[in-house]
A and B are shown apart, each in its own frame.
Chain A
């Protein structure tokens, strides 16, 4: 599976040619096809290495979930993005496909409040269990007081 073959197959699957240059491929996936894209990446494209999963808060345009996986033999990487509708905070979980998504999705839930459907144990990972709010959202001010920590 070379980089060009991967690009071609992704274009066929999603109907739009992927972005990115060289060995870095980027795709934007509709939210309902998120798990399908991840499974395709793992089993058909050979991207077995899970790098990270995170969320970006685009304020009025909604949240965006980004996941990056890599093919260690053909040395290309695939960055998958999916945009959640403004006001929507749920996204399917890809933990069944990539085990590393476990803690990454818990951190995304902790920091952004995104609930990953299908994750068996979604609880806060970095902040204490009794924390209120999701700090990395743009609506959360940096100097929000939170006794006794702040």
Chain B
């Protein structure tokens, strides 16, 4: 398994050979060490195994072993109806469940030409942006913890960010009843409406988070150690970024100002004014800056929504009584959503029945993670965690 990318040694196609450990001695006498950053690891962001080939402190090859969280969502979707699956869809990107559900529901609505009322569209945007804020809080906390250790400065920022994330999760709990995995989206609209007092709580939450983001930025950016760890580390060039297919803050951190919310607006995003941050440098610090700016843009969108939420129904087909009631005519569509990690897409092929014929889940983290073997070789071991944290994978999306 531990085969360097550019090596001529490779198994014949389809040959399930057992993992081989390679310890080479090249003519200079330096020994290469194969080290496992195993599935159980304090900074694996979930279950992920990276087999690193080291020469001293420098990584010369990375082989990523995935699949520890594989539940075959794509086969599962063929067995569940269009009404049953959206709740399960949130388990792909479980940190940003709202955007995950939205992709599937939008794909089905696109094939069936189902309208979504304006209020429902605005609510979808509202929860998506709040979810982006919560997800970025978790990203910042875990990334700093990876770089600083669970018993060090990183843990301090981690606890502060988790405290902020709780504020948003309280909002979701008041709205949906769940904190992490919701069943909020359904075909034709959303399932729940805002309870009384929610808007005031939301305004207070955004004000609080905006003030705290300033604190974290100054705490990190005034710290030379943080700058040393993140600047110049993990540079992704624009060409590698595009051909590998990374998206979201990774792509925008490499100088491409592409955001699905503005390039191909969905769910009334064209009604809101917000800017798309991008940074040219392509290193970890650039991606950090992009996400910090996204915090602010999300807060801006949330404020626009709560100031101008239209009245109306929250779903164009409320009261679905049986799970096979919703049938989508024959057709296919690809719906994509700008999730916190990038382009989350659902390619759906419907055949007229209550269940899809084929569903392909384009997970943002799967494509994002594919960039690791291209950028890590040449860096030190300590940079591997910094880069992985800035890539921000969620393994529910990678393995599905």
Q: Report if A and B touch in the complex (beta carbons < 8 A).
A: yes
A residues contacting B by CB (< 8 A) are: 23-24, 42, 48-52, 54, 56-57, 66, 68, 72, 75, 79, 97-100, 102-103, 109, 111, 115, 119-130, 135-136, 142
CA of A127 to CA of B366 in the docked complex: distance in angstroms?
A: 15
Closest A-chain residue to B347, C-beta based? A54
Q: Which of B66-74, B186-194, B297-305, B386-394 contacts A (4 or more CB under 8 A)?
A: B66-74
Task: Give me the 8 closest cross-chain CB pairs, A-B, nearest first.
Answer: A100-B245, A126-B67, A50-B245, A48-B242, A129-B16, A54-B360, A126-B70, A100-B244
Instruction: Give which listed residue, A100, A125, A135, contacts B66 with CB less than 8 A.
Output: A125
B3 adjacent to A52 (CB under 8 Å):
no
Of the candidates B245, B343, B360, the one having the most CB atoms from chain A within 10 angstroms of its own CB is B245
By a CB distance below 8 angstroms, the chain A residues around B13 are: 115, 119, 122
B11 adjacent to A123 (CB under 8 Å):
yes
Instruction: Give which listed residue, B3, B243, B349, contacts A56 with CB less than 8 A.
Output: B349
Given the interface pairs A57-B358, A66-B347, the reply to whether A135 lies near B75 with Cβ below 8 Å is yes
Of the candidates B243, B343, B345, the one having the most CB atoms from chain A within 10 angstroms of its own CB is B243
By a CB distance below 8 angstroms, the chain A residues around B197 are: none
Q: What's the least CB distance linking A68 to chain B, in Å?
A: 7
Of the candidates B18, B367, B399, B400, the one having the most CB atoms from chain A within 10 angstroms of its own CB is B367
B245 adjacent to A75 (CB under 8 Å):
no
By a CB distance below 8 angstroms, the chain B residues around A120 are: 10
Given the interface pairs A99-B374, A103-B370, A111-B74, the reply to whether A56 lies near B358 with Cβ below 8 Å is yes
CA of A125 to CA of B258 in the docked complex: distance in angstroms?
A: 29
Closest A-chain residue to B398, C-beta based? A126
Q: What's the least CB distance linking A149 to chain B, in Å?
A: 10
Given the interface pairs A23-B264, A52-B347, A126-B70, the reply to whether A72 lies near B367 with Cβ below 8 Å is no
Question: Quick check: is B79 within 8 A (CB to CB) of the other chain?
Answer: yes
By a CB distance below 8 angstroms, the chain A residues around B244 are: 50, 98-100
B10-42 to A contact mask, C-beta < 8 Å, 1/0: 110111111000000000000000000000000
B65-93 to A contact mask, C-beta < 8 Å, 1/0: 01100101011001100000000000000
Closest B-chain residue to A68, C-beta based? B334
Question: Quick check: is B227 within 8 A (CB to CB) of the other chain?
Answer: no
Question: Quick check: is B224 within 8 A (CB to CB) of the other chain?
Answer: no
Closest A-chain residue to B246, C-beta based? A100
Interface contacts (Cβ under 8 Å), in number, total 99
By a CB distance below 8 angstroms, the chain B residues around A128 are: 67
Q: What's the least CB distance linking B341 to chain A, in Å?
A: 15
B243 adjacent to A121 (CB under 8 Å):
no
B residues contacting A by CB (< 8 A) are: 3, 10-11, 13-18, 66-67, 70, 72, 74-75, 78-79, 239-240, 242-245, 256, 258, 263-264, 334, 343, 345, 347, 349, 357-358, 360, 362, 366-367, 370, 374, 399-400
CA of A23 to CA of B66 in the docked complex: distance in angstroms?
A: 34
Q: What's the least CB distance linking A90 to chain B, in Å?
A: 10
Given the interface pairs A136-B74, A136-B75, the reply to whether A50 lies near B67 with Cβ below 8 Å is no
By a CB distance below 8 angstroms, the chain A residues around B362 are: 51-52
Q: What's the least CB distance linking A127 to chain B, in Å?
A: 6
By a CB distance below 8 angstroms, the chain A residues around B258 are: 49, 72
20 additional A-B pairs beyond A99-B240, A142-B75, beta carbons within 8 Å, are: A50-B245, A51-B245, A51-B362, A79-B334, A100-B245, A102-B370, A103-B370, A115-B13, A119-B13, A121-B3, A121-B11, A123-B15, A125-B66, A126-B70, A128-B67, A129-B18, A135-B72, A136-B72, A136-B75, A142-B79
A109 adjacent to B14 (CB under 8 Å):
yes
CA of A111 to CA of B366 in the docked complex: distance in angstroms?
A: 15
Q: What's the least CB distance linking B200 to chain A, in Å?
A: 39
Closest A-chain residue to B357, C-beta based? A56
By a CB distance below 8 angstroms, the chain B residues around A50 are: 242-245
CA of A97 to CA of B347 in the docked complex: distance in angstroms?
A: 23
B242 adjacent to A72 (CB under 8 Å):
yes
Given the interface pairs A56-B358, A57-B358, the reply to whether A99 lies near B243 with Cβ below 8 Å is yes
Q: What's the least CB distance linking A84 to chain B, in Å?
A: 15
By a CB distance below 8 angstroms, the chain A residues around B243 are: 42, 48-50, 97-100
By a CB distance below 8 angstroms, the chain A residues around B79 are: 142
20 A-B residue pairs with CB within 8 Å: A24-B334, A42-B243, A48-B239, A49-B245, A51-B343, A54-B347, A54-B360, A56-B349, A68-B334, A72-B242, A98-B244, A99-B374, A100-B245, A109-B14, A115-B14, A121-B3, A123-B16, A125-B66, A126-B67, A127-B67
By a CB distance below 8 angstroms, the chain B residues around A142 are: 75, 78-79
Q: What's the least CB distance linking A83 to chain B, in Å?
A: 14
Q: What's the least CB distance linking B331 to chain A, in Å?
A: 12
